[in-house]
Amino acid sequence: MNRPPTAQIAVIVALPAEVVDNPAVAVHPLSGGSPLQRAVRGLADGPVVVAADARIVEDVRTHLADSPVTVLAVDAPADRMRCLAAGLDAVTRDRSSHVLVHDVRQPLVPAGVRDRVVAALRDGAAAVLPVLAVTDSVKAVDRDGVVTATVDRSTLRAAQYPRGFATGELARLLAAGEPDEVAAAIRLRVPVTVVEGDGDAFVADLPGDAAYVDAVIACSR
């Protein structure tokens, strides 16, 4: 791998149309700040861009008024990939060579995960994905709901955030027409470097899971 000596790493947080229907996923108060505030604070090592559906962009700007971030409005259809593309355009103008992509449905950002993704980017990886081994028993089920097999979980991994990319590589992936940048990387046969994730980097259903998330935060202090 070609090792970039002085990579500037930006952050993109996408707030697509589905956040309009459940804004709690981004702004519900948790211990230490909302998922969006925690992401901005926990990931920032360069420019931070939040690309939000235009219908909520003013609320997002107010919510992040005390944070040094750029908040962009994305017109309909503001799906996730369009939000990422808008964010990427902004960080490219800032001459960032690499970018971290985060999803606020994962409200906690363990520092170790971020550091491992950044280290892999600085070591020359074009795409980096934090993963966690699947430890639950996984079953295959037919269309009638009958268990047909136990799936070998030894090669299974749960994907997490933040994901890391060289900016040029992410631009190519976003242009591929897939609903997910890692799916695009797989189809285009772009090598995706995996790093160890963290059990605290889980997807939460807010506001319902708020008490659980706060308990995890309390235990990690």
Q: In sequence order, what are the beta bridge partners of 3? A: none
pLDDT in tens, 25-80: 999 999 999 999 999 999 987 899 999 999 999 999 999 999 999 999 999 889 99
- pTM of the complete model beyond 0.85: yes
User: Does pLDDT of 189 surpass 80?
Assistant: yes
Residue 23 confidence (pLDDT): 95
Under the banding of pLDDT at 50, 70 and 90, the label for residue 156 is very high
143-166 average pLDDT score: 95
Rounded Cα distance between 1 and 99, Å, is 18
Rounded Cα distance between 165 and 120, Å, is 10
| Residue spans per domain, the chain | 9-216
Report the share of the chain in percent with pLDDT over 90. Answer: 90
User: Does pLDDT of 87 surpass 80?
Assistant: yes
pLDDT in tens, 115-129: 999 999 999 999 999
Residue 220 confidence (pLDDT): 84
Under the banding of pLDDT at 50, 70 and 90, the label for residue 137 is very high
Rounded Cα distance between 191 and 188, Å, is 9
User: Does pLDDT of 6 surpass 70?
Assistant: no
Q: In sequence order, what are the beta bridge partners of 14? A: 51
Rounded Cα distance between 110 and 43, Å, is 9
Respond yes or no on whether the N-terminal peptide bond of residue 68 is cis (omega within 30° of 0): no
Rounded Cα distance between 146 and 176, Å, is 36
Under the banding of pLDDT at 50, 70 and 90, the label for residue 164 is very high
96-103 average pLDDT score: 96
Are 108 and 34 within 8 A, CB to CB? no
> What per-residue string of b and e applies to 21-47 under the rule 16 or more CB within 10 Å gives b?
eebbbbbbebeebbbbbbbbebbbebb
Complete DSSP assignment for the chain: ----TT--EEEEEEE-THHHH-THHHH---TTS-HHHHHHHHH-SS-EEEEEETTTHHHHHHHTTTS--EEEEE-SS--HHHHHHHHHHHHHHTT-SEEEEE-TTS----HHHHHHHHHHHHTT-SEEEEEEE--S--EEE-TTS-EEEE---TT-EEE-S-EEEEHHHHHHHHTTT-SSHHHHHHHTT---EEEE--TT-----TTTTHHHHHHHHHHT-
CATH: 3.30.565.10, 3.90.420.10, 2.100.10.30, 3.90.550.10. Which one for 9-216? 3.90.550.10
Rounded Cα distance between 55 and 171, Å, is 25
List the structure tokens of 217: 């935060």
Report the share of the chain in percent with pLDDT over 70. Answer: 97
